[in-house]
Structure 1
């Protein structure tokens, strides 16, 4: 079979002052290998090193505080030990001449009291329970709880946690940070009318619902310049029980506001493969192009062919791949040479805490077997 030409997807790209060797981005992928202390380790460094032919790596989400935790054995970025642990990962990736951004995370209501200090309730924009089957916790599967609505005076503390996390990310050697404003986590809970029923300066109007994200951005801009800061949103998604009737108005407004900062990129989970709220027509990258002038990254369910076409027609500059990178550490090489992909990883191995299903996927033979 002839090599599939992907001249756009495999071309270099200028991202601020970084030159990406291609536009195949490794999406943030929570893999639960950081142990109970949430400290990045040598096995994680090997995992990222194996995948460093990507143009840019976005780290798995890192909790900005103990309060922000909501996933078993996911890494944090709120202690000195965690910061030092991340350093071995940035060094491993930089040895391959690849830049890496850290994704900053607060789970909000998608957490559980068993993750929290003194078994306190998780927090959210409003006291609205996540309608889901169960959450995996340190004490096993549990029902979601009704979160506690954050008091107005508590919010600056969380904004400061984001700033401190960005400081630690910079100390650990990350080239930039991505704010996780997607998938029903805390920032998304503030942005969306479904989960934000506040009546203070962080609620009711679009401007007020956006205020929390705005304050986080402006706090992080004291640490990183705008071209080293990105934001991720998921306007079409239902993950963590999201989807608001005014989703189009909300996310066009958010993108329009973000446009004023000259960010590194806007990361839009536009694909529908993992669920669509069906509250209207899905939002597209082309739609975001009308209000956001900076680099645009698409994500969710892309193939090599669809990614190439999306970049070719100008709807995106970069495409993030998630699940294909799990089982194909050499995904870029496979795209380049038209090599077949490994079978998808089994879901039971995604979060197994072990090397199996993590760093044991084979790369494609460099010489063809006759």
Structure 2
């Protein structure tokens, strides 16, 4: 049997197969950034995945930068996620919530409330972000965080992790990629600090490692995943030296024995991302980015990865695991409704008959 369909233990998480649903923003949260019944249906439909990683979810009001992304800091949000967890578990699935703090990648009109725009340094993100109407808008200018604020900020992530477990969610994944807050600290272009949280790669990794340790202390490292994307220039990150950017961070958190490391492999021409990670990280690796069944099976067979994750294939194929088993054709996503349309392009994709 293909390794894709064999179970695997990732920390405290026993996966039924190695086909992971990658985190994908879908912009369907309700008022107050509360997960809705429609979101619970969406995740339930995909519960056959070995593990679902939820869309990026803000651990605090300041963590929000996009339109209608869910939160995990109010009781109503916790209650909404509890319904998601119940739906996924009822169909035999596992789900972790990706904690995503956008930092400086924030359009204020997307929030609907006042909150700080914060970053390691007072440098605005030059890239635009879609506003409430979908039109790209400028990101707000951030203020630089003071060093004495950082322990409390790490505590916000830890509280969000406790909130996830209170909702019955199986764990959390920390978003350390794509130019968001944790990545902003790691990156030498966005982190120009001159204190102990800046400077060389070890200094820049100090706050990100503090957050991972806080999560591990809050809910156990075996329920904490970490996501990175070395060499990804998204949101104005410096892609030039991925080993320097991420090496010190991985060395700092590897002894914690987190559940897994999920990596978006940018297929860099002069950097073997998965080879670098195997030499740097001792725990399980979930590989991601443009995979299909054949390329995923090859990664597992070679030992380059322990599991594989899929994004857009899961959007249009809620029964992706069954389709892979049967070598059935895949439905293409309705790209016009990735971020709008409520049930359209969200929960209205058909599964295979039978």
1:265 corresponding residue in structure 2? 260
Deviations 1:154-180 (A, max 9, x none): 222211110110110010011111111
Matches of 1:260 and 1:232, distance apart in 2: 17
1:331-370 matches, within 5 Å, as: 331-346=320-335, 348-366=336-354
Matches of 2:2 and 2:200, distance apart in 1: 44
Structure that is richer in helix per residue: 2
Deviations 1:234-288 (A, max 9, x none): 102121121243322221222222221111001111145xxx7xxx724421221
SS at match of 2:280: coil
After superposing the two structures, state which structure 1 stretch, 300-309 or 233-242, moved more.
233-242
Asked if the contact 1:27/1:59 (under 8 Å) is kept, the reply is: yes
Say whether 1:253 aligns with 2:248: yes
Say whether 1:325 aligns with 2:314: yes
Deviations 1:32-83 (A, max 9, x none): 1112311011100100010011001111111011111011111000100000
Asked if the contact 2:66/2:107 (under 8 Å) is kept, the reply is: no
Matches of 1:19 and 1:260, distance apart in 2: 21
How far is the alpha carbon of 1:142 from its aligned partner?
2.2
Distance 1:119 1:102, change over 3 A: closer
2:125 corresponding residue in structure 1? 130
2:289 corresponding residue in structure 1? 300
How far is the alpha carbon of 1:134 from its aligned partner?
4.3
TM-score (norm 1): 0.91
SS at match of 1:25: strand
How many residue pairs get aligned? The number is: 354
The structure 1 residue matched to 2:226, chosen from 223, 231, 245, is: 231
1:169 corresponding residue in structure 2? 164
TM-score (norm 2): 0.95
Asked if the contact 1:236/1:269 (under 8 Å) is kept, the reply is: no
1:3 corresponding residue in structure 2? none
How far is the alpha carbon of 1:137 from its aligned partner?
4.3
The structure 1 residue matched to 2:69, chosen from 60, 70, 74, is: 74
How far is the alpha carbon of 1:357 from its aligned partner?
0.4
Asked if the contact 1:38/1:75 (under 8 Å) is kept, the reply is: yes
The structure 2 residue matched to 1:23, chosen from 5, 18, 23, is: 18
Deviations 1:132-167 (A, max 9, x none): 244424796422233221122222221111011011
The structure 1 residue matched to 2:237, chosen from 236, 242, 245, is: 242
SS at match of 2:32: coil
Deviations 1:170-200 (A, max 9, x none): 1001111111111100000001111100011
Matches of 1:73 and 1:226, distance apart in 2: 29
The structure 2 residue matched to 1:154, chosen from 142, 149, 152, is: 149
Matches of 2:142 and 2:86, distance apart in 1: 38
Matches of 2:129 and 2:76, distance apart in 1: 31
The structure 2 residue matched to 1:61, chosen from 53, 56, 59, is: 56
Matches of 2:324 and 2:12, distance apart in 1: 26
The structure 1 residue matched to 2:216, chosen from 213, 216, 221, is: 221
Say whether 1:40 aligns with 2:29: no
Asked if the contact 1:235/1:283 (under 8 Å) is kept, the reply is: no
Matches of 2:343 and 2:69, distance apart in 1: 15
Asked if the contact 1:135/1:144 (under 8 Å) is kept, the reply is: no
After superposing the two structures, state which structure 1 stretch, 127-136 or 21-30, moved more.
127-136
Asked if the contact 1:111/1:135 (under 8 Å) is kept, the reply is: no
Asked if the contact 2:33/2:77 (under 8 Å) is kept, the reply is: yes
- Structure 1 runs (4+) deviating above 6 angstroms are none
Asked if the contact 2:231/2:240 (under 8 Å) is kept, the reply is: no
Matches of 1:95 and 1:67, distance apart in 2: 33
